[in-house]
Amino acid sequence: METAESNSSTTRTFNDLPPFQRLLMGPGPSNVHPRVLEAMAKPLVGHLDPEFLKIMDEIQAMLQEVFRTKNRFTISVSGTGSAGMEAAICNVIERGDKIIVGINGVFGTRLADVSKRYGAEVLEVKAPWGEIVPPDAIRDALADNPGVKAVVVVHAETSTGIHQPLEELSELTHKAGALFIVDTVTSLAGTEVSVDDWEIDVCYSGTQKCLSCPPGLAPLTFGDRTMEVMHQRKSPVESWYLDMTMIEKYWGSDRAYHHTAPISMNYALREALRIILEEGLQPRWARHRLHHEALKTGLEALGLRFVAQEGHRLPMLNSVAFPDGTDEAAVRKTLLNDYNIEIGPGLGPFKGKVWRVGLMGESCRKSSVISLLAALGEIFARDGKVTDSGLGISAALEAYADRE
């Protein structure tokens, strides 16, 4: 019988990939510049080829600029943003270490989960979804728990659209003698991340959000204090693949083989970083702010309501509640099938209650804002939620006129 099945499978044919043309306005991945796709299609070289080593040096130099750090240990981890998260934790934490994790959404929850798996005693400082983790709560947790090794927070909580302020937390953390670990997967290259000025000891990101590169690498930087803590570990890092005490020998002058670097992904990241630095960080942050403001005005005109705490909203991730009686899954399906636009659903307590509209990197354009508002206007007018399908666009255009 098995033979019959495998015989029939040899006659099965598979089609070419479709000519995807989605406008990616969800929580990631974002659209990718054609130059990045072209870079990925370049022929391979070996992971120890002098030309590839040069590319690694260039990636390090450009990542240092984007992270705004002089940290020598600044690399791309093989794996998506979650690999960066795991690397940030497992190289610092040893079994029994106490750490504080700020939790106000999916990614803080994931950080706590990862930390527990590596044996940390996790002190969870929780805040409601859609609010920041209050610095006072971290201050109290540090006061009540002497000997905390690290404080871990998410800068841009992609599940809620919250923009966590970092500077005060950094100061509190260092006063207590702990390391400050920050997730910047969604914020890096979309809003300010200043690793040295804000004294972030461990900072990681992912390629698929505001860096506008396919998912597959996780930029990571460790400061001197972190390197010292890592080198003085009593036990080996529990993950072999993400052990930075070994990987630093590949990114450093030894060039010792650890695992084969994902060559094409590093070509892609190099090109994405080049595009970011050509634009400039400040203009790029300003672009994210501008299109967020216009989108916000337009979505509100269509009756959508922003759910993240005012004054702490991310530009690149807009969490919005829709009008009562909206069949939210049906609207997202229509957006995808009829308009080629992807937006994200809510997660956790926000499931079925909000949409997450991304404006990340290449996806953060006036054309994206107008396309989405046009599509939503049409769908809402058809469903009788608005009387005029152009309400969103007119409001957004006014917002642009005020700012341009």
Q: Which residue is nearest to ligand PLP (CB)?
A: 81
Shortest reach from residue 397's CB to ligand PLP, in Å? 30
Which range binds ligand PLP by CB under 6 A, 16-24, 125-133, 151-159, 301-309?
Answer: 151-159
Shortest reach from residue 158's CB to ligand PLP, in Å? 3
Shortest reach from residue 292's CB to ligand PLP, in Å? 16
**Cβ atoms of residues 212 and 36 within 8 Å:** yes
At 318, is the secondary structure helix, strand, or coil?
Answer: strand
Shortest reach from residue 27's CB to ligand PLP, in Å? 6
Work out which of 30, 60, 69, 158 binds ligand PLP, going by CB under 6 A.
Answer: 158
Nearer Cβ to ligand PLP, position 67 or 107? 107
Nearer Cβ to ligand PLP, position 154 or 397? 154
Nearby residues of 271 by Cβ (< 8 Å), 6 or more positions away: 33, 35, 36, 38, 39, 213
Nearer Cβ to ligand PLP, position 82 or 326? 82
Which range binds ligand PLP by CB under 6 A, 78-86, 116-124, 266-274, 307-315?
Answer: 78-86
**Cβ atoms of residues 116 and 53 within 8 Å:** no
Q: Does 78 bind ligand PLP (CB under 6 A)?
A: no
**Distance separating the N- and C-terminal Cα atoms of the chain:** 69
Q: Which of residues 183-212 bind ligand PLP (CB under 6 A)?
A: 183, 185-186, 206, 208
Nearby residues of 357 by Cβ (< 8 Å), 6 or more positions away: 25, 26, 295, 299, 317, 318, 319, 320, 343, 344, 372
Which range binds ligand PLP by CB under 6 A, 150-158, 319-327, 369-377, 384-392?
Answer: 150-158
Which range binds ligand PLP by CB under 6 A, 142-150, 178-186, 190-198, 328-336?
Answer: 178-186
Q: Does 86 bind ligand PLP (CB under 6 A)?
A: no
Shortest reach from residue 209's CB to ligand PLP, in Å? 6
* Burial zone of 165 (CB within 10 Å; 0-12 exposed, 13-18 middle, 19+ buried): middle
Tokens 């990614």 appear where? 107
At 96, is the secondary structure helix, strand, or coil?
Answer: coil
Shortest reach from residue 135's CB to ligand PLP, in Å? 19
Shortest reach from residue 32's CB to ligand PLP, in Å? 14
Burial profile 144-158: b = 16 or more Cβ within 10 angstroms, e = fewer: eeeebbbbbbbbbbb
Tell me how crowded residue 374 is: count the other CB atoms within 10 A of its CB. 18
Nearby residues of 42 by Cβ (< 8 Å), 6 or more positions away: 264, 267
Q: What is the distance between the alpha carbons of residues 267 and 263, in angstroms, rounded to a whole number?
A: 6
Torsions phi, psi of 126, nearest 5?
A: -100, 145
Q: Which of residues 25-44 bind ligand PLP (CB under 6 A)?
A: 28
Shortest reach from residue 44's CB to ligand PLP, in Å? 23
Nearer Cβ to ligand PLP, position 183 or 362? 183
**Nearest to 265, CA basis, from 3, 51, 78, 35:** 78
Tokens 């690290």 appear where? 150
| Structure tokens, 330 | 């049906």
Work out which of 30, 60, 74, 80 binds ligand PLP, going by CB under 6 A.
Answer: 80
Number of residues that bind ligand PLP (CB under 6 A): 15
Q: Does 85 bind ligand PLP (CB under 6 A)?
A: yes
Residues near ligand PLP, by CB under 6 A: 28, 80-82, 85, 107, 154, 156, 158, 183, 185-186, 206, 208, 215
